[in-house]
């Protein structure tokens, strides 16, 4: 099938590459000329395992093309995906201006029937707004061309985006049109071979499903973080509790890892946007507000642990090794990352950091520039050199098996603050190091 994807960010690029890989002809349109030129030269703007090979391979096979020309894109596809960003506006609501602008562009160019598919995360009712926007433009042009607006939210995770997209657990399609349903089923047929993954529902329910899924996951995390904070004060090890409750199949093991807070471009934004949507319709979404509030304070927990270890004294003159800057492993993304709250709090106190992250150091440099109190180190071991203590923020695989003897040698205050509970406290302490995780049964 001929497919066009507007907006070549995370979601758009991954979706385009995966659709091309199963044999569809995909035209990618973005307003950013440099991004398009880079993509043609095999330079991928994001770090995502496997993506470069997939894009380069399908580009060579001419199943993927890149352009800034909207006309080319609109002419190409019977299916037109909108995958542009919906960043929060000043009050946290989703800003729909990019979505509406792409819809308007499609309407002002199209001269044959189209299915317009919204992949971006958008509040309930957006498809209706897109539909009437297109209808206004077509009637201004004096044209009566048939079109459908479909909601098809994306559930991929950064770091495992290809796998999530190639082997989705479900494909949600919101439409009330049989023609659109037929074409969407055909598009996704290669992904539904083993079992039918497609779930058809009305458009508003599909839009809401995306928010409800992300808010449920964020709620699980904030709930566990609250349990961890209680555990810390009650002499309970939250890691034992996690295993204990996860074994109940009604609860499950997924997304109940306590830590130093959730980040990224999705959970913080989506919880906030749904809470604002609720407010707009006069509903007080108390759970969503609490999820956000707990996460906000959870991002400060590591800093509080450090402060308490030093009995509340100033941290001026101290140097900390920081392992992990990305908001989670396998990405270079630092949007809403817990590391940022920690770094900024340490700097505020006059402390220095020696940071290491396998992928996100360029991003840290881009965000913070060159500064005396942030030295980016080439390896995790180098970050320990002459530091007072180690703070772990992201659970990269390479941090899981550290050399505790080296830590003992290098860290002046012989202390580890672990924001992701990577180690067994007893094992670490057996090496002569002090260890503070999240909710490991001991307040400091
Ligand atoms: C999230 C959802 O998981 C995807 O299904 C969704 O498609 C995506 O948002 C989106 O809306 O585009 P993502 O933001 O890439 O994906 O990352 P996650 O793997 O969900 O992790 C989010 C944050 O939660 C990370 O900071 C992670 O460290 C934290 N987390 C996750 C925990 O603190 N504990 C857990 O048990 C799991």
Q: What are phi and psi of 31, to 5 degrees?
A: -80, -15
The model's pLDDT over 223-242, given as tens digits with 9 standing for 90+, comes to 999 999 999 999 999 999 99
pLDDT digits (tens, 9 = 90+) for 386-402: 999 999 999 999 999 99
Q: What is the pLDDT of residue 353?
A: 98
Q: In this model, does residue 88 exceed pLDDT 90?
A: no
Q: Is 258 annotated as a binding residue?
A: yes
What's the whole-number mean pLDDT along residues 105-117?
97
Q: State the closest ligand 1 atom to the C-alpha of 263, by its place in the atom list counted from 1.
A: 26
pLDDT per position as a tens digit, 144-188:
999 999 999 999 998 899 999 999 999 999 999 999 999 999 999
Cβ distance 259 to 438 under 8 Å? yes
Q: In 9-136, which ranges are E strands? A: 25-29, 64-67, 79-82, 114-118
Burial of 400 (0-12, 13-18, 19+ CB in 10 A): exposed
- Percentage of the residues of the chain whose pLDDT score is greater than 70: 100
Dist CA 17 CA 255 (whole Å): 28
Instruction: Tell whether domain 298-436 is in CATH 3.40.50.10860.
Output: no
With a CB cutoff of 8 Å and minimum separation 6, the contacts of 356 are 321, 322, 323, 324, 376, 377, 378, 379, 380, 382, 383
| 260 carries an active-site annotation | no
In this structure, the chain runs to a length of: 444
Q: Does ipTM exceed 0.90?
A: yes
Taking CA atoms only, the protein residue closest to ligand 1 atom 12 is 266
15 lines ligand 1 (CB under 6 A): no
Q: Is the pLDDT of residue 250 over 80?
A: yes
Same topology, domains 2-201 and 298-436? Answer is yes
Superfamily classification of domain 2-201: NAD(P)-binding Rossmann-like Domain (3.40.50.720)
- Give residue limits of the domains in the chain: 2-201, 211-296, 298-436
d(CA 7, CA 29): 6
Which CATH code is given to the segment(s) 211-296? 1.10.1040.10
- Note the pLDDT of residue 185: 96
Query: Best of 259, 357, 360, 397 to mutate for ligand 1, by most ligand atoms within 8 A of CB?
Result: 259
């Amino acid at each position: 099938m001929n497919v066009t994807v507007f907006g070549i960010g995370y979601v758009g690029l991954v979706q385009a590459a995966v659709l091309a890989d199963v044999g569809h002809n995909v035209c990618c349109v973005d307003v950013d000329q440099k991004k398009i030129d880079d993509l043609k030269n095999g330079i991928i703007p994001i770090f995502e395992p496997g993506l470069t090979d997939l894009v380069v391979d399908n580009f060579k096979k001419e199943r993927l093309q890149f352009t800034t020309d909207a006309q080319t894109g609109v002419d190409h596809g019977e299916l037109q995906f909108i995958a542009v960003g919906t960043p929060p506006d000043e009050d946290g609501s989703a800003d729909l201006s990019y979505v509406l602008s792409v819809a308007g562009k499609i309407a002002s160019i199209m001269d044959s029937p189209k299915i317009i598919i919204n992949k971006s995360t958008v509040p309930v009712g957006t498809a209706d707004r897109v539909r009437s926007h297109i209808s206004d433009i077509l009637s201004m042009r004096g044209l009566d061309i048939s079109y459908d607006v479909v909601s098809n939210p994306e559930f991929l995770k950064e770091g495992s985006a290809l796998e999530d997209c190639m082997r989705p657990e479900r494909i949600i399609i919101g439409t009330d049109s049989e023609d659109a349903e037929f074409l969407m089923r055909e598009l996704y047929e290669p992904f539904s071979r083993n079992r039918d993954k497609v779930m058809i529902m009305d458009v508003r329910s599909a839009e809401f499903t995306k928010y409800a899924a992300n808010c449920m996951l964020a709620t699980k995390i904030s709930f566990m973080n609250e349990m961890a904070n209680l555990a810390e004060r009650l002499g309970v090890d939250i890691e034992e509790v996690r295993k204990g409750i996860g074994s109940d199949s009604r609860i499950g093991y997924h997304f109940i890892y306590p830590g130093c807070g959730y980040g990224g471009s999705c959970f913080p934004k989506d919880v906030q946007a749904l809470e604002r949507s609720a407010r707009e319709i006069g509903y007080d979404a108390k759970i969503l507000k609490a999820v956000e509030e707990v996460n906000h304070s959870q991002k400060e927990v590591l800093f509080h642990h450090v402060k308490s270890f030093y009995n509340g004294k100033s941290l001026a003159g101290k140097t900390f090794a920081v392992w992990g800057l990305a908001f989670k492993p396998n990405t270079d993304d630092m949007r809403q990352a817990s590391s940022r709250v920690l770094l900024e709090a340490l700097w505020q106190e006059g402390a220095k950091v020696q940071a290491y992250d396998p992928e996100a150091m360029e991003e840290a440099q881009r965000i913070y520039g060159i500064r005396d109190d942030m030295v980016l180190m080439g390896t995790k071991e180098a970050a320990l050199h002459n530091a007072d203590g180690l703070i772990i923020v992201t659970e990269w695989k390479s941090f899981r098996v550290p050399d505790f003897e080296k830590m003992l040698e290098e860290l002046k205050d012989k202390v580890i603050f672990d924001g992701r509970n990577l180690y067994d406290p007893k094992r670490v302490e057996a090496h002569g190091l002090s260890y503070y995780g999240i909710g490991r049964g001991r307040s400091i």
